[in-house]
Amino acid sequence: MKITYREALRQAMHEALAADSRVFLMGEDVGKYGGSYAVSKGFLAEFGPERIRDAPLSELGFVGTAIGAALGGMRPIVEIMTVNFSLLALDQIVNTAAVYRHMSGGQFSVPVVVRMATGGGRQLAAQHSHSLENWYAHVPGITVLAPATVDDARGMLRAALADPDPVVIFEHAMLYPMEGELSPDWEKADLRTAKILRAGRDVTLIAYGGTVWKAQEAARQLAAEGIEAEVLDLRVLRPLDDATIMASVGRTRRAVIVDEGWRTGSLAGEIMARIMEQAFYELDAPVARVCSAEVPIPYAKHMEGAALPQAPAVVAAVRQLLAKA
């Protein structure tokens, strides 16, 4: 069945709201407007203002409220418009949600799910377009997800709500209108493993969220040149699935990480370090990465395109690793 990423997310939330009265959705414009990416369209009419709550423009306030509700036994889903705005709620997520189990000696857990859009490509300029997943992936106590496929968009929320600890879900803004085939496996979505989306023997392209599709496009172009690239979708950014990464790199002996975050201090850097630690003797070339240019994401379309990781840059990096440049 063909389905859009947006529809998959909508079905997931609808299912959760219908199945569990403790679940409610809160965020800016999630009610009357139907969500800034229209994921919760129609929910207000169906579930009512008690459970579909439009919040004031205060991320610190409504994320903190959701955390309180979670401590009180609810299963809140919070939607934040973009990761840029989530920095206003960083204190609640990092200093409260992530540490309460620890601070309370195990007496309290915070079963909150925070959804937020991320990434550039829609000409929303430097205050709406960044990829700051690594900020959250740095913090112990939370699980960080990056669904890239309709299967994960449909399946991950259920697993996230079932988790007794805080989960942050990043939805790449370019993926909402993407159509994909929903496989019967969507119900098996877990919060621990990476997944090989395309098998190949020459190089592993490691990507997450929006860059998964850049990597897939690069793999298609490389295949035309006889280079077989493996595409690994990280899915889970914290904890990273080292086993799947090392197994793949051990097979292909080369890796290119495609990360929409900036290079400095990036998740790509973390993954490179882990490969160095765990698979050094398997490598046939230095690990490479294609990241966003270290500039605020530009507004102008051509400049924005040039600043973000694109398939041709991935292809060029692979060619260099294989001495086929």
How far apart (Å, rounded) are the C-alpha atoms in residues 100 and 64? 13
> Does residue 255 touch other proteins according to CB under 8 A?
no
How far apart (Å, rounded) are the C-alpha atoms in residues 75 and 235? 22
Residue 317 burial class via C-beta count within 10 angstroms: exposed 0-12, middle 13-18, buried 19 and up = buried
| 74, 99, 223, 303: residue in contact with other proteins (rule CB under 8 A) | 303
> Is 15 annotated as catalytic?
no
Site mask, other proteins, residues 12-41, x = CB under 8 A? ------------------------------
Residue 262 C-beta: closest distance to other proteins, Å? 9
> Does residue 325 touch other proteins according to CB under 8 A?
yes
> Does residue 74 touch other proteins according to CB under 8 A?
no
Which member of 7, 28, 128, 171 is catalytic?
128
Segment interacting with other proteins, rule: CB under 8 A, options 24-32, 90-98, 110-118, 317-325:
317-325
| 8, 253, 261, 274: residue in contact with other proteins (rule CB under 8 A) | 253
> Does residue 273 touch other proteins according to CB under 8 A?
no
> Is 302 annotated as catalytic?
no
> Does residue 166 touch other proteins according to CB under 8 A?
no
How many C-alpha atoms does 249 have within 13 Å on its Cβ side?
A: 29
Query: What values do phi and psi take at 92, rounded to 5?
Result: -65, -40
Residue 130 C-beta: closest distance to other proteins, Å? 14
| 105, 184, 224, 281: residue in contact with other proteins (rule CB under 8 A) | 281
> Does residue 246 touch other proteins according to CB under 8 A?
no
Query: Which residues are tagged catalytic?
Result: 59, 128
